Amino acid sequence: MVMRAMVLENSGSPLKLVEREPPPLQAGEVLVRVNACGVCRTDLHVCDGDLEHPALPLVPGHEIVGTVTKCGPGVTGLEVGQRIGVPWLGGTCGNCRDCRNGRENLCEQAVFTGYTRDGGYADYTTADHRFCFPIPERYSDVAAAPLLCAGLIGYRSYRMVDDARRIGLYGFGAAAHILVQIARHQGREVYAFTRPGDGDAQAFARELGALWAGDSDEDPPVRLDAAIIFAPVGPLVPVALRGVGKGGVVVCAGIHMSDIPGFPYAWLWGERVIRSVANLTRQDGLEFMRTIAEVPVHTRVVTFPLLAANDALEQMRSGRLQGAAVLDLN
């Protein structure tokens, strides 16, 4: 059997179509027939070289929805024919202090799907069975794909704002368009900030329930309790910090961000907090899947065939996408 894979051979180069045998199974792994794979901004950072030391040559992609076609030795809890999701966190050591204390997302020996192990821009991939999630039946393969990272990382970021009632979302893309629906379902106020002059994105945010939408360089119309920054733009940190009230938190949700410029200490004073979000835990995934089984999240996707993965990445790079890009392998 021969499969297709879009392979990154060198950082900064376009992906190359390769035909090869499906990857061999290791103990504890499942072979997954990829039905759909989201195209995430992290994929863009990997391909463009913003994230160093990818396992080249590499198959990117970590928002994978697929079907188990074979189980390796030691696999439990999964069976052939089952639909699963494969996320960014692909495995951890399980023994270090962070793993033992519920912080497996910080494990120094963690492996990451589509970065340090091959991902889902291919007909088949393998995954550690312990790091796969069941997908609620209400979501199609294509609709579910963005939930595996944009949704999961967005949800972990959302948990960092605790019970904040007024939340600013900076960068209204795949993650924010999922998160606004959960926040509004829970009765919170959402204020969306987009690229300056992006009226379409602002209209999209209001359509999904944002109380207000405007340019990212604007002050919010009210003092915010918290802000989550999805755009990889360091100068947004002091802008968001200026918009939150005393005791407020600014969460930096991306794995990569440009440098944060200096700002007056007075903008931080008053027990305001800046914090980052790193990866996810399996507990995050299980909680999120339970949440979206109850909250009807509608993902807006733009689909591409596997061979158009470079086009999908370019559209994301230029900011031309609303919602999420997904490679549809069905």
Structure tokens at 66: 């697929």
Coil, strand or helix at 290: helix
pLDDT for position 180: 96
- The single residue listed with the structure tokens 């158009």 is 308
State both tokens at 81.
């024919």
Q: Are 114 and 59 in contact (CB under 8 A)?
A: yes
Pair type for strands 224-229 and 89-91: unpaired
Instruction: Provide the pLDDT for residue 220.
Output: 96
Q: Give kind and range of the element (H or E) at residue 179.
A: helix 174-185
C-alpha 61/C-alpha 35 separation (Å) is 12
Neighbours of 136 (CB within 10 A): 16
Q: What is the pLDDT of residues 271-303, one digit of tens each?
A: 999 999 999 999 999 999 999 999 999 999 999
Average pLDDT, the chain: 96
Strand partners, 124: 33
Read off the pLDDT of residues 233-273 as tens digits, 9 standing for 90 and up. Answer: 999 999 999 999 999 999 999 999 999 999 999 999 999 99
Residue ranges in the chain whose pLDDT is less than 70: none
Q: How far is CA 149 from the centre of its chain?
A: 3
pLDDT tens, 121-148? 999 999 999 999 999 999 999 999 999 9
Q: What integer pLDDT is reported at residue 202 of this predicted model?
A: 96
Asked if residue 114 lies in contact with residue 120, where contact means CB atoms within 8 angstroms, the answer is yes
Give CA separation, 158 vs 151, 170, 311, in Å. Answer: 10, 13, 30
Q: Quote the pLDDT of residue 323.
A: 79
Complete domains list, the chain, with CATH: 3-149+279-328 (3.90.180.10), 161-276 (3.40.50.720)
The tokens of 12 are what?
């900064």
